[in-house]
Each structure stands twice: as structure tokens, then as C-alpha cells.
Structure 1
Amino acid sequence: MLQELSIRHFAIIDALALSFERGLTVLTGETGAGKSIIIDALQLLTGGRGSGEFVRHGEKKAEIEGMFSIHADHPCIPLCQEFGIEADEESIILRREISAAGKSVCRVNGKMVTLSILREIGAKLMDIHGQHEHQELMNAPSHIRLLDDFGGRSIEQARRRYEEVFHQYAHLQSEIRRLSENDQHLAHRLDLIQFQLNEIENASLVSGEEEKLEAERQQLANFEKLYGALSEAYNALSGEGRALDWLGLSMNGLESAASINEEYKPLHESAANSFYVLEDTVRDVSSLLDTLEFNPGRLNEIQSRLNEISQLKRKYGTTIDEILHYSETIAKEIDQLTHRDTHVTRLQKELEEAKKHVLAEGQKLSLLRLDAARQLEEAIHQELKELYMEKTVFNVNVQTESGQFRKDGIDQIEFYMTTNPGEPLKPLVKIASGGEMSRVMLAMKTIFSRHQGITSIIFDEVDTGVSGRVAQAIGEKIYKIAVHSQVLCISHLPQVAAMADTHLYIQKQQGGARTSTTVTPLDEEEKASEIGRMISGAEMTDLTKEHAKELLALSAKIKHSAV
């Protein structure tokens, strides 16, 4: 859920820090007080499009930051890992900065990310719904995934099995298409890769060759320096009055001392060991000096070979191993193109077999979806009945096309509905009535909020166009959603405000020449006053306040029974 929200220099908000609780939080206030500005800030925080117009006048940038608490298996965790973002199992922090020039900076857990990544992660944390912004529910291509989410584990497993065989089927199709291209194109391709293979094979590359050549080149290029260093070392160690000579004298002296007193024996042994080790070193250095030879011709050979390898790396890979791997790949392709008729025949047989598997898994998945569709229809009808839309017909239209294999199955799914008896079913995306759409959306969100795993759901005046008993039903429905997901709701309906677990009052205040938005949590007495204002308008009477208290008491009973 959304725990903390910080907003600075955004529109008419100077600085605002809010803490949110679980359950239903309702935001109320006079029109123009800044309620929708907070929703705008949340939209930007989760990847919405921004501009410099959002920055408070006179400031350089607007800053929005939100901390969300998440559980161990929240879908955001693997998503963050995929993008290289550190994520724990407790919280995730989103941050968005927008400069007055319109430049945007996005961060997730302190790591700078692109707007598209912020949007993808934000979609897993928060779902924002406005009167004309219904996101997935109003997006027909999303309906198949929503139905699969509703179907639960059985559909998830069936879909995974289908995707595995579909991937193999699609790969075979791609291979057959590639081998069935026009003869002229394939002939050009064969000529090209045959030339490439010959070039690589003629080079007779050996894995690790480049590193050895570089080491030899380095030695030859620094021959004088190397020879001088070894000569200096040899001369310092060997010869009369040099290090080895003096160490020999020391060893002999300690040997004499040890013959007198055995306590000196370890000293003699240490000196003797050092002498023999150093003697071996002198022989090795001498041997190196004897074999060390400057060969300018060899240096040219090495440089020429390294240049050849460099040319091949520019064409076929960044390392010799990659070049060799590429040669193996094109050798297989040459074999396929040379004997393509044989390969196409074999692949077509494999494709026919794969097609049977895809169809079988697709049909199993389709049957599960049909069963889930009927269950979803029943659940939606029950929800709509509670919202006084008992005559509405909701239909999950499942069109199965056995010959059309797609990544998500053999079904095309779209939600249909009619709200008037005798009228034909129409796609949900074409329903336009504000009051009806508010109730339809709430009914669907009540169902889907249990399956989507969204951390927070925002309703921005989705109760527009309703009143009376429908308003009461909407309040109860929003609270029902809040049992499973944290809900933030901007509302002008007292029936909705009365159902709130937390009530925040938003107002504009003028300080000097500037106007700012403030947010105040209301206690029970203040709640009653605010709900009374929502009932009566500007004038507050004792009767109105009593009515507000009755509404709060009734809501408390409803909430108690809903738990």
C-alpha cells in the first residue's frame, strides 16, 4: 500500500507530506481546493506524462516521492530485479522530478530509470481510475488477461503449458519461412556466408591465440629494457664479491658456528636454503639471457597476425571464441541452405506435430476460460444487483479460433454488456453513461481487485452522476474493495465519505500573495461537520449535523458486518 507521499512545488502545492493507512481513505473539500492535484501528482509518480506547467510558479522544479509497502511475493520485486534495481521485501520508493523546462528525472529505490520503466513498475503498485479513465477495464485487449487472472492457478498453469508449445511452433514456422524465401535472396545469402566461412577457416584461428601473441609482442617490443633488467639482476647476484658470493661466505661462517654450538644450526640451515634457492635463480636468469633473442622479423609477423585477427573481430565477433562460434553457426546454415528441400520437409513434419500439441493445449486452455467466463458473469451480475443494476446483462464474449494460434491462446475475449432490457449486447468499451459506467467499473473492480494484486487503487470522482440509494450502494461497494486493497477516493457524496476509515479534508489557504493547498485528517466530530456540509452545502444546521451523525452510525454498522 501507499504509506508516505511527499509533494513539493507542484501546481498550487508548496510542500505537502501525507501518511496513509490501510482500508478506505476519502479526500473531500470544496471544488478547486486541490483534490485532483494530488491525484495528478500520483499519476506522475507512477509514470504519467508530465510537463513544466506542473511546476509551481517561481520554482525550479517539482518533486514527488512515494513509499509503498509490499509483501514478499509482490510482482514488483522480480520486475525490479529484471531492471537491475535493488528491492527488498518490505518497501519500494518511487521519485519523480520535473523541471520548469519540462525535463523529467525518474528514480526507483534511488536508481535512475526511464519513464517507461517507472510506468511499468508504477502500474503494479497503483491503479488510478477517473470518470473517463478506466485503464485496463476499458481496454479490450486486456480482457483476456483479466479473465485469466480471475481463473486463478488452473488457467495460469494451462496458459504456461500452451506458451511452451506455441513457442516451439512459432520457431518452426520462422525456420520454414526463412528456408522458403525466393531463390535469388537465398543464393545471395549462401554466397555471403560461404565467403565468411572461408575467410574464418583460412585464418586458422586458435582459442587463446591473441592473448599469447600480445604477450610475445610486448616482450619483443621491450627487448632492450627486458635484456637490461635481466643482465642487471644476473650481475648483481653472480661473480666475485657479488650477492651469491657473500651469501656463500655467510653460510660457511654459520656452518662453523653450528659445529661449535648446535643452537646455531637453524641459522645455518636458513642461510643454506637461501643460498641454494638463489643459486637456482642465477642459473634460471643465465638461461633466459642465453635464449633471449631479438627478432625484428618475428615482431612484424606478430603485428601482422594481430591485425588480421582485429579485422576478423570487427566483422564477426569481439573475441576469437565468438568468431569461432559464429563460424559454427553459419556452417550449419550453409548445410541447411545447400540441402534446404530436405530440411524444409523435415521441419514441416515437425510443424505438423507441433501444431497438434498447440491445438490440444489451446483447447484445454479455452475450456478453462469458458468455465471462468461463466463464473465471472455470475459474480459481476451479483455485484451489479447490489448496485441497483439488476436488469443489466454482462457477457464475457469468448471467440475460439482453432486455426489461429496466438501467443496468449486460441481465444479472443471481450467484455460485452447491455443496461437496458431488449437492447443488444455491446462491447463494454462503448458504454458512455457516466452513472452507469461508475457502477459497472466498481462492480468489476470489486471482483478484479482480489486477483490483480494491485497495492493501491485510486478513485477520482467515479461516483459522479449518482445519488440516493445508488450513492449508498456505491459507498458500500468502494468499502468492499478497500477490504482487499488500499483505496484512496475523491468524492462529493456524503454516503461515500461516511464509509471512510480515514477522512482527509483538502482546502486552499492564502498566505501573503500566494495560495497553497493543505490537507487535514479529520476526527469523528470534524467528520460529522464535513459530511453535514456535503449534505447541505454552505449552510450547516443542527438537523443536518444530526443527519450526518446518523449516516456515520449507519456506515459503522455496515462496515462492521462487512468485515
Structure 2
Amino acid sequence: MLQELSIRHFAIIDALELSFERGLTVLTGETGAGKSIIIDALQLLTGGRGSGEFVRHGEKKAEIEGMFTLNENHPCFHVCREFGIDVEEEAVILRREISAAGKSVCRVNGKMVTLSILREIGSRLMDIHGQHEHQELMNAGSHLRLLDDFGGAAIQYAKEQYRNIYNRYEHLQKEIRRLSENEQNLAHRLDLIQFQFNEIEKAELTIGEEEKLESERQQLANYEKLYAALSEAYSALSGDGKALDWLGLSVNGLESAAGINDEYKSLYDAAANSFYVLEDTVRDVSSILDTLEFNPARLNEIESRLNEINQLKRKYGATIDDILQYGHKIAEEMDQLTHRETHVSRLQKELMAIEVTLTAEGRELSKLRHSYSKKLEEAIHRELKELYMEKTAFSVHVQSENGQFKKDGIDQIEFYMTTNPGEPLKPLVKIASGGEMSRVMLAMKTIFSKHQGVTSIIFDEVDTGVSGRVAQAIGEKIYKIAVYSQVLCISHLPQVAAMADTHLYIQKSHDRKRTSTVVTPLSEDEKAVEIGRMISGVEMTDLTKEHAKELLTLSAKLKNSAV
């Protein structure tokens, strides 16, 4: 859900901090008070197009920030991780800044992102629907996914089975296309990888070679320091009056003491062990000094070999292991290109076998979609009937194309509808907006809000052009959507306002010749007054107040029955 929203220097808003709750939040106020400006800010926050015109006059930039709290399995987290955005404490913070010059800066959880990434993430968090903005439901390309979401686990499982085979099918097609390219291009490619393979093979690289060479180079490059340090150590340990000589005398003394009293035997044993260890050390140091020599030719040889390895690393991989793996990879490609006709023939046979299986899985998926399309039609018709549109016809067109394999199956899905009896069904995207369209959209939102996973749904005056019993039905329908998703709704209908869990009143404030927007949460008594104003207009009467209280009481009963 959208938990916190901060807007600064945006249009007529100077500074606005809003906290939102779950359920249905209704925003009301006089025309021009700034209700739609808040929706504009949310659109920009979720990736909408912006310009310097949104910046409040006299300010350098507008700032919009929103915090969304999500459950751990929300699809937004997966999208964030794809773009390398850290997500902690099940929260996502979006931030958008627009300068007076029109420059836009977008951030998600503090990381700067492009506008397209902000839009990608924002679409998972919020769905904004205005009277003339149909968004997802009015995009025919999204109808297939909506039907699949409605079908739930059954369709998702069938689609996963289909996709597993489709991925192999797509890979085979790419391989066949690659091996069937222009012969001259393939010859050039073969020449290139043949040269690369020969270069790698000629180098005769071995795993761990580089580390050993680096160690040997280190020793040769520091020969003088190493010889001096070992000589100093040997001189201090060995010879008359040196460490080993004194330790031998100590051992002899302790041995005599232990012969007199067994309590000193442990001291003798410790000293004797130290003497033998140190004696071995002196012998090893002496041996090293005898064999240690400076070999400038070997140093040059090592430098040359390391340089050769570094040249290969720059071309073929960060490590010797990467270079060798690349060599194996191009060896396989060389074989494919050298014997490409044989490989193409084998791949084509495998592709034909895959197509048979893919067709069967596609038909099974299509069969499920046909089944759930009927159930969806029935569900939509029930919702439309509750909105007094019982004569409206809705249909899910499922068109299957065998042999036309796509990532999501062999089907094309599009929603069709007619609101007038006797008129033919037409694509939903071509239906005119207005009061009827508002009800159609609400009916569909009621169905799909349970499956979309969108955190917040915003309705911007979708109740325009309706009144009476239809207005009451719209209020009830919006509340039902709020049971599954957080809903923010700008409305001029008292029937909708009465269904609110939270009621925010928006008004203009004038201070020092500047106009600002102020948002005030209403108490139960204040809510009754505002609903009364919405019913009667400017003049408030006792009868109007009674009507407002009666409407709130009725709405409370309807809300309890809807849960």
C-alpha cells in the first residue's frame, strides 16, 4: 500500500505530507482545490511524463516522494532485484525531482534510475484510472495476462509447461538461423575463432600457473633483500656464542637438573625439543642459502610468460580458467561451422519433434483459456448487473493460431463488449468513455483487483455522469475493490464518500498572496458535514444533515455485509 506521500513545490502545492491507510480513501473538495494535482503528482511518481510547468512558480524544482509497504512475495521486489535495487524491510521508496528547466531525476530506494525503470516499477505498485485514462484494461495487449491471472494456478501451471518447451524451441530456431547465415559471414567467423583457438592452444596454459609464476617473480625480483635477511638469520642462530650454541648449553644444564630431580624433566624436554627444531631450521636456512641464486634470464622468462598470459586475459577472460573455457566453447563452435550442414539437419529434426510437443501443450493451454474465458464472462456480467447494466454484453475472444508459437502460447485474447442491445460486440478499446464506461471499468476492476497484485488503485472522478441508484452501486463496487487493494478515489458523489474508510478534504489556502493546497483528514462529524455539502451544495439545512447521517449509517451496514 501507499503509506506516505510527500509533495513539495508542485503546481499550487507548496509542501504537503500525507499518510494513507488501508481500504478506501476518498478525496473530496471544491472544484479547483487541487484534488487532481495530487493524482498528477502520483502519476509522475510512478513514471509519467513531466515538464518544468509542474514546478511551483518561483521555485527551482518540484519533489515528489512516496513510500510503499509490500508483502514479501510482491512482484515489485523481483523487478527491483532485476535492476540491482536493494529492497529492505518490505518497503519501496520512489522519488522524482523535476527542475524548472524540465530535467527529471528518478530514484528507487535511493538508487538513481531511468524514467523507463521507474515506470516499470511504478506500474507494479499503482494503477491510476481516470475518466479518460483506461490504462491496463484498455490495452488489448494485457488482456491475455488478465485472463491468465483470473485462471489462477491451473493456467499458470499449463503456461509454465508450455514455456519450458518454447524456450528450447526458440533456442533451436536461433541456432538454425545462425548456422544458415550468409556463407561469407560464416567463413569470416570460422577464420576468427580458428585463429583464437590456435592462439589459446599454442599458449599451453595450465590452471594455477599464473600464481606460481607470480611467486617466483617476487623472489627473483627481491633476491638481494631475501639473501640478506636469510644470511642475517643464519648468522644469529649458528656459530660459537650464537643462539643455537647458547640453547645447547641450556639443554645440558636442564638435563643435569632433571637427573637430580624428575620435576625438572618437563623443562628439559621443552628445551630439547626447541633445540632440535631450531637445529632443523638452521640446516634448512643453510640449504636455502647454498641454492639461492640470482637468475636474470629466468626473471625475463617469467616476465615474458606473464605478459603473454595477460594479453590472453584481455582478449578471452579474466582468469586462465575463463580462457580455457572460452577455448572449449569456440572449439565446439568450430566443429558446428565446419560441419554445419550436418548440424542444421540434426537441429531441424529436433525442431520438428519439439513443434509437435509444443503444439500439444499450446492446445492444452488454449483449452484452459477457453474454459476460464466463459467463467470470466459470467463474473463480469454479474458485476455489471449490480451496476444496473444488465443489458450489457461482454465477451472474451480467444483466437488460437496453430503453428504461431509465442512466449505465452498460441492464443490472442481480446475483450469485446456492447452496451446497447442489438448492437454488435466491439473491442473494449473502442468503447467511448463516459458514465457507462466508468461502470464497465469498475466491474472489471472488481474482478481483476483480486488477481493483479497492484498495491494501490486510484480512481480519478470515474463516477462522472452518474447519479441516484447507479451512484450508490458505484460506491459499493469501489468499496469491494478496496477489500483487496488500497483504493484512493476522487469523487463528487456523496454515495461514494459515505463508503470511505478515510475521508480527506482538500481546499485552497491563501497566504501572503500565494495559493496553496491543504489536505485535512475528517472526523466522523466532519465527514457528515462534508457529505451534506455534497448533497445540497452551498446551503446546509437540518434536513440535509439528517440525509448525510442516514447515508453514512446505510453505508456502514453495506460495508459490514461486504467484508
2:195 corresponds in structure 1 to 195
Displacement, 1:104? 4.5
Displacement, 1:51? 4.1
Displacement, 1:109? 4.2
1:483 corresponds in structure 2 to 483
Tell me whether 112-121 or 183-192 shows the greater mean CA deviation: 112-121
2:233 aligned with 1:233: yes
2:527 aligned with 1:527: yes
Give 1:308's aligned amino acid: E
CA–CA distance in structure 2, aligned partners of residues 562 and 179 of structure 1: 62
Q: SS where residue 194 of structure 1 aligns?
A: helix
Tell me whether 484-493 or 511-520 shows the greater mean CA deviation: 511-520
2:151 corresponds in structure 1 to 151
Q: Is the 8 A contact 1:197 1:330 kept in 2?
A: yes
**Residue-by-residue CA offset, 1:177-210 (whole Å, 9 max, x unaligned):** 1112232222222222112111111111112212
**Residue-by-residue CA offset, 1:188-239 (whole Å, 9 max, x unaligned):** 2222211211111111111221221122122211111211221122112212
Give 2:459's aligned amino acid: F
Q: Is the 8 A contact 1:179 1:337 kept in 2?
A: yes
Tell me whether 450-459 or 8-17 shows the greater mean CA deviation: 8-17
CA–CA distance in structure 1, aligned partners of residues 216 and 104 of structure 2: 52
1:132 corresponds in structure 2 to 132
CA–CA distance in structure 2, aligned partners of residues 323 and 464 of structure 1: 67
1:398 corresponds in structure 2 to 398
1:33 corresponds in structure 2 to 33
Q: SS where residue 539 of structure 1 aligns?
A: coil
Q: Is the 8 A contact 2:14 2:516 kept in 1?
A: yes
Distance 1:118 1:262, change over 3 A: farther
4+ runs deviating over 6 angstroms: none
1:167 corresponds in structure 2 to 167
Give 2:424's aligned amino acid: P
CA–CA distance in structure 2, aligned partners of residues 317 and 338 of structure 1: 25
1:267 corresponds in structure 2 to 267
Residues 379-528 of structure 1 aligned to structure 2 (within 5 Å)? 379-528=379-528
Displacement, 1:267? 2.4
CA–CA distance in structure 1, aligned partners of residues 244 and 131 of structure 2: 94
2:343 corresponds in structure 1 to 343
**Residue-by-residue CA offset, 1:480-527 (whole Å, 9 max, x unaligned):** 111221111011112211211211101111222333222111122211
Tell me whether 212-221 or 61-70 shows the greater mean CA deviation: 61-70
Displacement, 1:2? 2.2
**Residue-by-residue CA offset, 1:22-67 (whole Å, 9 max, x unaligned):** 2211000112212122222322333333444444444454443333
Q: What are the ranges of 5 or more consecutive residues in structure 1 without an aligned counterpart?
A: none
Distance 1:258 1:118, change over 3 A: farther
CA–CA distance in structure 2, aligned partners of residues 17 and 423 of structure 1: 49
Tell me whether 251-260 or 163-172 shows the greater mean CA deviation: 251-260
Displacement, 1:327? 1.0
Q: Is the 8 A contact 1:136 1:142 kept in 2?
A: yes
CA–CA distance in structure 2, aligned partners of residues 265 and 100 of structure 1: 90
2:142 corresponds in structure 1 to 142
Q: Is the 8 A contact 1:528 1:552 kept in 2?
A: yes
Q: Is the 8 A contact 1:505 1:519 kept in 2?
A: yes
Tell me whether 401-410 or 114-123 shows the greater mean CA deviation: 114-123
CA–CA distance in structure 2, aligned partners of residues 266 and 52 of structure 1: 87
Displacement, 1:376? 1.0
Q: SS where residue 220 of structure 2 aligns?
A: helix
Distance 1:101 1:236, change over 3 A: farther
Tell me whether 222-231 or 354-363 shows the greater mean CA deviation: 222-231
Residues 102-117 of structure 1 aligned to structure 2 (within 5 Å)? 102-117=102-117
Q: What are the ranges of 5 or more consecutive residues in structure 2 without an aligned counterpart?
A: none
Give 1:461's aligned amino acid: E
1:71 corresponds in structure 2 to 71
1:122 corresponds in structure 2 to 122
2:247 aligned with 1:247: yes
Q: SS where residue 205 of structure 2 aligns?
A: coil
CA–CA distance in structure 1, aligned partners of residues 250 and 106 of structure 2: 72
CA–CA distance in structure 2, aligned partners of residues 107 and 82 of structure 1: 15
CA–CA distance in structure 2, aligned partners of residues 259 and 108 of structure 1: 80
Q: Is the 8 A contact 1:415 1:428 kept in 2?
A: yes
Distance 1:14 1:433, change over 3 A: closer
CA–CA distance in structure 1, aligned partners of residues 346 and 544 of structure 2: 82
CA–CA distance in structure 2, aligned partners of residues 289 and 32 of structure 1: 93
Q: SS where residue 185 of structure 1 aligns?
A: helix
1:551 corresponds in structure 2 to 551
Q: Is the 8 A contact 1:71 1:89 kept in 2?
A: no
Q: Is the 8 A contact 2:149 2:451 kept in 1?
A: yes
1:319 corresponds in structure 2 to 319
Distance 1:33 1:151, change over 3 A: same
Give me the identity figure in percent: 81
CA–CA distance in structure 1, aligned partners of residues 44 and 243 of structure 2: 76
CA–CA distance in structure 2, aligned partners of residues 496 and 102 of structure 1: 37
**Residue-by-residue CA offset, 1:406-455 (whole Å, 9 max, x unaligned):** 01100011111222223222221122232222111111100000111222
CA–CA distance in structure 1, aligned partners of residues 104 and 17 of structure 2: 21
Displacement, 1:385? 1.9
**Residue-by-residue CA offset, 1:54-89 (whole Å, 9 max, x unaligned):** 444444544433333323432234344444444456
Distance 1:112 1:271, change over 3 A: farther
**Residue-by-residue CA offset, 1:446-470 (whole Å, 9 max, x unaligned):** 0000111222211111112222322
Give 1:247's aligned amino acid: L
CA–CA distance in structure 1, aligned partners of residues 234 and 60 of structure 2: 70
Alignment coverage as a number of residue pairs: 563
CA–CA distance in structure 1, aligned partners of residues 289 and 19 of structure 2: 78
CA–CA distance in structure 1, aligned partners of residues 273 and 97 of structure 2: 70
Distance 1:57 1:230, change over 3 A: farther
Give 2:250's aligned amino acid: S
CA–CA distance in structure 2, aligned partners of residues 250 and 44 of structure 1: 85
Displacement, 1:242? 1.8
CA–CA distance in structure 2, aligned partners of residues 476 and 512 of structure 1: 42
